Structure 1
Amino acid sequence: MEEKKLDVKSIVGFVLIFGILMWMMYPKEPTKQELAAEKAKKEQLAKDAAQQKNTKTAEIVAPTADSLKGDSTQIAKLKGTLGDFAYSATLPSAKENLTTIENGLVSLTIANKGGYIVSAKLKKYERIKKGSGDLVELIHNNNAGLNLKLQTQDNRVIDTKNMFFEPTLSKSGENQVLSMRLKTGPDAFLEYTYVLKPTDYMLDFTVRSQGLNKVLNTSKPADLEWTLKSFRNEKSASYEARYADLRYAYEDSKQDYLGQGKDKTETVDKVSYIAFKQHFFTSILLTDKPFTKAELYSDNLVHNDQVDTVFTKQFRATVPLAFENGELNQKMNWYYGPTDYGILKTYDRNIEKIVPLGWGIFGWINRYLFIPAYDFFSLFMSQGLAIIFFTILIKLIMSPVTYKSFLSQAKMKVLRPDIAELGEKFKKDPMKKQQETMKLYNKAGVNPMAGCIPALLQMPVFYALFQFFPSALSLRQEGFLWATDLSSFDSVYKLPFFIPLYGNHISLFPILASIAIFFYMKMTTGDQQAAAPQQEGMPDMAKIMKVMIYVSPLMMLFFFNNYASGLSLYYFISNLITIGIMLVIKNYIVDTDKIHAQIQENKLKEPKKKSGFQQKLQDMMEQAEAEKANGKKTK
């Protein structure tokens, strides 16, 4: 029979497919013209902001108490602009002081001006690398803001971010209670209340007003605007940005997120929480009473993998706070802490769903199988060893599937001479060859699809693991062998140049995983392509498998060079174990002579009843053969 050779066109085709796939996986870097346009846009926005200082709204910025002391003229002028809100500017608190509330997990600093958090540090986690001494900061150098837009009865706008609040720190049991009041008189005020528990990342937050119904227009809701420019906390800015996004729950716990990219916007109804999610840490605003709607915005700030950026994403959310009986009284919560599935689940508010574990069966596998199993191993050993034992457990569970797959390949290999004989006998009639091949399979009791089914069963496991490892907070800053951080790439050599799609460093675990994948595919594809019959009008599977032997490891090498080294370690160990299992099955379990004897015995028996797929395939071929014969008669 004529040998099928791999032609140049096939190689070029697969190279192009690989290039297109890699292009789709990675966002394009902006051109110089796009960067220049973006810079011009930002400069124009800065100019517009500067010009607004002379407008009526911008005049609401309150001076300090010291600048107004004894100056009745300025106070009168200020009252003409702000009305009763000028009272707050005459108080001793009208200066830029800070108040800190903290427990063993988090430290929050709130400013008098604006009444919002200007620093949020997590005490159990360090930035960039272990031992740096710098704590993870979700809010850093005023990169976050909170503003409540209030409209007065004479249609003036008050921005609370420019007003000075009066702080009062007290205790309620073991809880720290910080009241921030923007006063319009001795008994009239707008109040932000923060309540921090002793061992919790979550704090209570309430916005309420008293006595402002005579000053404010309460027929329309007040707009609460929350912004965050996410401060980079991880080793790789581009990798962190890949897993940073804005997530939210709406309409009775439905979950969604704003897609990656520039200037993404969404308006959503009945929102119960909004999460500004970074890779391993999250800021979440939750509400007891759902917001009627939320205007959401996300912008990617990492435009070039070669630039070491400080901020990764720009987030913004605007929600309406309705007045009830002329006053505000909205109970909410803030969460500043790790994006850890176990921690988030303890709050029983569905916020654990912001952890991207996959949808449908993939998320189910992660939540109920992989997370409990991995957490068990990590209780007794280092994270690297936990990955290895976790991998062994998964491969043992999947070993029956591996056995079935190899057994099917062995049967197909035994039938190779018979298939070759049919191919030679009916080489001028491909349709007849297919019909006789299917009859041979049926007589021998071999299902040609049996080798594909195990592979399909492994796909959910593969995808679930692909989601699991990048979300595993326990891997962060944990080392193993040469890898210093299993949640990031394991660079062993820094390149003096940048390779598109690959990066400017060499990671070792992806190289080892690629080598293991190459040998695994070498072992498996030989038998598959030898036994697979070529169908007329269909792609030559032998050629495809030959190309995939080289393309798959290459994709692994490029795609995983900047991924978490824990994931590459898993695939390396997984393929080593699979190779070992297959060698054991081949040399000590599967007896090809016995299989051959059994197949020959099956041929002498009555053919087994065809499966639905086999029967349908045979009917299609017989119909095609009949049409072909009729066509010849017509001619």
Structure 2
Amino acid sequence: MDKNTIIGFVLIAVVLIGFSWWSQPSAEEQRAAFVQDSIAQVARQKAEKQKQMEAAARQTAVKTKVLEDTTALFHAALTGQQQNIVLKNKAVELTFSSKGATVEKAVIKGYGDRLGNKQLTLFDEKDQSLNYTLTAKEVNISTQDLYFQPSEITDSSVVFTAQAGTGKSIVISYTLGKNYILHMKMNAIGMAGIFAPNTSTMDVNWLDKCRQQEKGYTFENRYATLTYHDVEGGTDYLNESKEVKDKEIEEKIDWVAFKNQFFSAVMIAKNDFQQKSLMTSIPHEKGSGYLKTYQAKMKTFFDPTGNTPSEFDFYYGPNDFRLLQKVEKESSFGKDLQLQRLVYLGWPLFRIINRWFTIYVFDWLSKIFPMGIVLILITMLLKVITFPMVKKSYMSSAKMRVLKPKLDEATAQYNKPEDQMQKQQAMMAEYAKYGVSPLSGCLPMLIQMPIWIAMFNFVPNAIQLRGQSFLWMKDLSTYDPIWEWNKNIWLIGDHLSLTCILFCGAQILYSWFTMQQQKDQMVGQQAEQMKMMQWMMYLMPLMFFFIFNDYSSGLNFYYFISLFFSAAIMWTLRHTTNDAKLLAILESRYKENANNPQKMKGLAARLQAMQQQQEELQRKREELDRKKRKL
């Protein structure tokens, strides 16, 4: 990697940081915007509240009328005693309420929470609600208002019935599978006459306050997203950091997930959710105990004749890639649901790396070693795989280093600013004669970058790291504080993470090695300019500190080990390379190329040819300009 490449990377970072700082509004503008937003928000909330009050008033009036009329539809089902029914297996324990006939509490076994409880409560009656609305000719039927009578109760099944009148009822049955899948069927019995002939859908309104389950609110919140799956394939999700209200989904979807970092509640429709579903995600403040409020408003199949039930599967469980692949097979719908997409593995290139390499290696190693050792071994394996390319790249840089005296001599006469083109051309000519490519030094970064980004996506989503300790790190899935305080400090937060400090220290070490190597091959003014670049190179670890202080100790530990091995490899290659022997090889190649110029090849030769062409074009333009001036 030459000076210009380094300058390019650093300038991009500086421009991004500078633009972010420059584009920030002033304090006065922020206050004015805050006031305007507050006024607008109050107005919106007032309008929404008014609509809700009007709708509630209409519903109350209808309900009052039904209660007064003993012959009215669902007269008896609008009053009753709420009962709780529990279905359970080795994986989950689900509590149902007879009012509404829905799950009001989901407990996932085998996983603790951040408060020290041995079992994790995904949600309870305060957090979650699910309502099915059937549009009849005279009145809308909302299941959340109805008291269902439970029957046929076992540990894994229950049937809820809401009587609408003689021979008329809504029947909802649940069957809990072996693991995390709950199957549901809904039938309207003997009620075809109360619906319009063209009725074929019902409304589904699902609301959930996503609990904070992990220690680090900021880090967990990055991976808490309302996610949905397109019937045609592929998943999408709402913005994880901004408020999104009633986003309209153009495609048909077959499932929607209320997801936090490591656990999800998923609703799957056998006959799909229709187009124009509305999705909402509203973030909560740190310290509230919640991450986001999710809401999904959808339409799906409903047969008023009762001949075909509306069927759903629910998944309440961990975001474990292999587990989700197995659980999907328990669904009776025969769809390619791609539930494993709940474990986000990155953009296509990085997803391929994680899907077909990282996960397999991780699964194999985690059966034998503790998770901290697994991260070290994965790092070592990746270094072994990439070593031949890294060595080849290093040798290219070493060739440029040993050729530095030759380059100094060849470019000595081009020290004026106006001679830079000739200087570059002379350098390219020398590189071409010796068969050296000046761009090969960038290869280590290009090789490692996809792997770094792939691990950046994999480690935070690996539930296997949750609760696993290693050395001083009590939980590899969250940060490892060496100092905590109650007040939130801008850019830093409320703690200092030791692995983040180690990672940034390793980055400084690696940058120093890189700059030393670059300095050895700089020619003329490049060496002086490199000195000015050094302080800018040290800004990158500082930037990483502010970014990664909230990230998991497992991810920071991986980066620390990776950079440490990279620096060790570079140091080893530097001290095992015989510069004199390498120069002799290059001199031999130079003589061979001098005797047969046609053998000159490689990127340097092509660059030299391109520069010669550009110089020839420039010369022709200047001749044309002179001729035009004479005319």
Residues in 1 aligned to 2:620 and 2:56: alpha-carbon distance in whole angstroms:
88
* Alignment partner, residue 66 of structure 1: none
Secondary structure of the corresponding residue to residue 150 of structure 1: strand
User: TM-score by structure 2 length?
Assistant: 0.87
SS at match of 2:46: helix
Correspondences of 1:28-43 after superposition (within 5 Å): 33=35, 36-37=38-39, 40=42
Q: Where in structure 2 are the equivalents of 1:350-499 lying within 5 Å?
A: 350-428=338-416, 429-495=419-485, 497-499=487-489
2:137 corresponds to 1:137: no
User: Residues 548, 368 of structure 1: CA spacing in aligned structure 2 closer, same or farther, 3 A cutoff?
Assistant: farther
Higher mean displacement: 275-284 or 617-626: 617-626
Residue deviations 1:458-492 (CA, integer Å, cap 9, x gap): 22111101101011001112122222211111111
Q: Give the alignment partner of residue 578 of structure 2, picking from 575, 591, 610.
A: 591
The answer to whether the 8 Å contact 2:432/2:608 transfers is no
Displacement after TM superposition at 1:632 (Å): 5.0
Is 1:86 aligned with 2:86? no
TM-score normalised by structure 1 residue count:
0.86
TM-fit CA distance, 1:179: 1.2
Contact 2:228–2:257, Cα closer than 8 Å, also in 1 = yes
Q: Is the 8 A contact 1:193 1:205 kept in 2?
A: yes
Q: How does 1:181-196 map to 2 (within 5 A)?
A: 181-196=161-176
Question: What amino acid sits opposite 1:322 in the alignment?
Answer: F
CA 45–610 in structure 1, closer or farther in 2 if over 3 Å, else same: farther
Q: Distance in 1 between matches of 2:67 and 2:344?
A: 55
Q: Distance in 2 between matches of 1:126 and 1:24?
A: 43
Q: Secondary structure at the match of 1:605?
A: helix
Q: Partner amino acid for 1:160? A: T
Q: Deviations over 1:368-427 (max 9, x none)?
A: 111121222222222112212222222222222221222122111111112222332223
Task: Report the alpha carbon displacement of residue 148 of structure 1 after superposing the two structures with TM.
Answer: 1.3
Distance in 2 of aligned mates of 1:176 and 1:13: 58
Q: Which residue of 2 aligns with 1:283?
A: 265
Partner of 1:217: 196
2:320 and 2:463 in contact (8 A); partners too:
yes
8 Å contact from structure 1 (residues 241, 300) kept in 2: no
Cα deviation for residue 547 of structure 1 reads 4.3
- Higher mean C-alpha displacement, 594-603 vs 377-386: 377-386
Q: Which residue of 2 aligns with 1:149?
A: 133
Alignment partner of 1:559 out of 547, 559, 562: 547
SS of the residue aligned with 2:415?
coil
CA contact (8 A) 2:252 2:274 kept: yes
Q: 1:53 to 1:450 in 2, by over 3 A?
A: closer
Q: Give the stretch that moved more between structures: 606-615 or 566-575.
A: 606-615
Kindly provide the amino acid, as one letter, of the partner of residue 82 in structure 2: E
Distance 2:498 2:387 in 1: 27
Counterpart contact for 1:270–1:292, Cα < 8 Å: yes
Q: 1:35 to 1:423 in 2, by over 3 A?
A: same
Shift of 1:314: 1.7
Aligned residue type for 1:401: M
Instruction: Report how many residues are paired.
Output: 599
Q: Counterpart of 2:243?
A: 262
Deviation digits for residues 172-224 of structure 1 (CA, Å, limit 9, x no counterpart): xxx72111222213532112221112x31111111221111122335232111
Please say which of residues 201-210 and 257-266 is displaced more in the overlay: 257-266
DSSP 3-state at the match of 1:57: helix
Structure-1 residue corresponding to 2:629: none
1:80-129 CA-partner distances (Å, limit 9, x unpaired): 7xx31113236xxx212211111111111111111111111111111115
- Structure 2 partner of 1:241: 221
Q: Distance in 1 between matches of 2:610 and 2:11?
A: 33
Q: Which residue of 2 aligns with 1:44?
A: 46
Q: 1:76 to 1:469 in 2, by over 3 A?
A: closer
Q: Which amino acid is 1:330 matched to?
A: S
> Which residue number corresponds to residue 18 of structure 1?
17
Partner of 1:330: 310
- Paired with 2:529 and 2:269, the residues of 1 have a C-alpha distance of 56
Measured in 2, the distance between the counterparts of 1:120 and 1:209 equals 27
Match of 2:292 in 1: 313
Q: How many Å separate the matches in 1 of 2:565 and 2:509? A: 12
- Which amino acid letter does the alignment assign opposite residue 227 of structure 1? L
Provide Cα deviations, 1:474-515, integer angstroms capped at 9, x if missing partner: 111212222221111111101464321221211011111111
Is 1:227–2:210 an aligned residue pair?
A: no
Query: What corresponds to 1:508 in structure 2?
Result: 498
- How far 1:136 sits from its partner (Å)? 1.8
Alignment of 1:609-620 (within 5 A): 609=599, 613-614=603-604, 616-620=606-610
**Corresponding residue of 1:65:** none
Measure, in 2, the Cα distance between the counterparts of 1:471 and 1:208.
39
Q: Is the 8 A contact 1:250 1:268 kept in 2?
A: no
Distance 1:195 1:60, change over 3 A: farther
- 1:237 and 1:309 in contact (8 A); partners too: no
Native 8 Å contact 1:438 1:618 kept in 2? yes
CA shift for structure 1 position 138 = 1.8
2:333 corresponds in structure 1 to: none
Match of 1:204 in 2: 183
Does the aligned pair in 1 maintain the 2:271–2:301 contact within 8 Å? no
Partner of 1:295: 277
Q: CA RMSD, aligned part only?
A: 3.3
Tell me the distance in 2 between the aligned counterparts of 1:123 and 1:514.
38
- Show CA shifts across 1:309-366 (max 9, x none): 2221122222223343633612210000001101001125311012110122211111
Contact 1:205–1:332 (CA under 8 A) maintained in structure 2: yes
Would the aligned equivalents of 1:445 and 1:608 in 2 still touch at CA under 8 Å?
no
Q: 1:170/1:610 Cα in 2 relative to 1: closer, same or farther (>3 Å)? A: farther
Name the CA distance, whole Å, in 2 between partners of 1:11 and 1:350.
Answer: 40
**Which one-letter code corresponds to 2:589 in the other structure?**
N
Contact 1:253 1:272 in 2 (8 A): no
Are the counterparts in 2 of residues 114 and 162 from structure 1 also a CA contact under 8 Å? yes
Partner in structure 2 of residue 77 of structure 1: 68
Is the aligned partner of 1:178 residue 2:158? yes
Identify unmatched segments of 5+ residues in structure 1.
Answer: 63-73
For 1:133 and 1:613, the matched residues in 2 are separated by 62
Structure 2 unpaired stretches of 5+ = 330-336, 627-631
Residue 123 of structure 2 corresponds to residue 124 of structure 1: no
How many angstroms does 1:143 deviate by?
1.3
Letter matched to residue 356 of structure 1: Y
